[in-house]
Amino acid sequence: DTGVSQNPRHKITKRGQNVTFRCDPISEHNRLYWYRQTLGQGPEFLTYFQNEAQLEKSRLLSDRFSAERPKGSFSTLEIQRTEQGDSAMYLCASSLTYTEAFFGQGTRLTVV
Amino acid sequence: QKEVEQNSGPLSVPEGAIASLNCTYSDRVSQSFFWYRQYSGKSPELIMSIYSNGDKEDGRFTAQLNKASQYVSLLIRDSQPSDSATYLCAVNRVGAGANNLFFGTGTRLTVIP
């Protein structure tokens, strides 16, 4: 296990389509975070899981976004009815509780 | 008020100089503090963590934490052109309904050869 893995690395989709991203955390990590980052901005918190429980969601996260972490292992982030404003880098990170979080390579989404 | 605030820069220093990056946070219950480096088009990479007041040194990097002032800083000694990147401050906030890791907007550092 060499780190956090995200797939796909790049995704181009047409407006209105649904997309799903996958994150495989470091195996012993119980926390998993999803962030969105646009150019010139820091990572913006979307949601996080403690094991399989989704403990917090950003108020900025519309109901088009949903995330799951079945069995407390990998996680998926789905965006329904994509909009051009959803174009961003989607970052996943994992950690043990309150310790260092390590990021995956990210998934760059382009909505055309 | 933002959870974590950083001067966006850009900050330019000559090669070999000390680069000083600063960060303030709003929530006194914050417990863990981190600095990440992010190269353009890449994901953030952890470079330092600090959990208690004082200084923590790791090679050319020193993190400083002052919880009373709600202030975290990162010093980079003998700056190299390869240090040119955006530096993100992150704070792990702990409290009822608010256990989370928040990031600042980052400070862009340029080291001039």
Selected for mutation to probe chain B from A100, A102, A107 (highest B CB count within 10 Å) is A100
Burial (0-12, 13-18, 19+ Cβ within 10 Å), B98:
middle
Question: In this predicted structure, which of A27-41, A83-97, B82-96 has the lowest mean pLDDT?
Answer: B82-96
Q: What is the pLDDT of residues B39-89, one digit of tens each?
A: 999 999 999 999 999 999 999 999 999 999 999 999 999 999 999 999 999
Start-to-end C-alpha separation, chain B: 37
pLDDT band, very low/low/confident/very high, at A1 (cuts 50, 70, 90): low
Beta-carbon count within 10 A of B70 CB: 16
Question: In this predicted structure, which of A6-10, A19-23, B1-5 has the lowest mean pLDDT?
Answer: B1-5
Q: 3-state DSSP: chain A helix, strand, coil percent, rounded to 5?
A: 5, 50, 45
Pairwise CA distance, residues A100 & B96, whole Å: 21
Counting residues of chain B whose pLDDT is more than 70, the rounded percentage is: 94
**Measured between CB atoms, does B72 come within 8 Å of chain A?**
no
Which H or E run includes B100?
strand B100-103
pLDDT band, very low/low/confident/very high, at A33 (cuts 50, 70, 90): very high
Q: What is the pLDDT of residues A78-90, one digit of tens each?
A: 999 999 999 999 9
8 A C-beta contact, residue B106 and residue B74: no
| pLDDT value at A100 more than 70 | yes
**What's the pLDDT at B17?**
98
Mean pLDDT rounded to a whole number for chain A: 93
**What's the pLDDT at B94?**
66
The residue assigned the tokens 């993100």 is B88
A-chain residue closest to B88, CA distance: A42
Angle at the Cα of B107 from the Cα atoms of B103 and B110, rounded to 5 degrees: 150
- Cα B4 to chain centroid distance, Å, stands at 10
Residues of B in contact with A104 (CB under 8 A): 43
- Reduce the DSSP state of residue B26 to 3 states and report it: coil
Selected for mutation to probe chain A from B21, B30, B32, B43 (highest A CB count within 10 Å) is B43
CB burial readout A79-91, b (16+ within 10 A) else e: beebeeebbbbbb
Q: What's the length of chain A?
A: 112
Q: In chain B, which ranges are continuous DSSP H helix?
A: none
8 A C-beta contact, residue B41 and residue B64: no
| pLDDT value at B28 more than 80 | no
Whether the ω angle into residue B10 lies within 30 degrees of 0, i.e. cis, is: yes
Pairwise CA distance, residues B4 & B92, whole Å: 10
Residues of A in contact with B91 (CB under 8 A): none
CB pairs under 8 A between A and B: 55
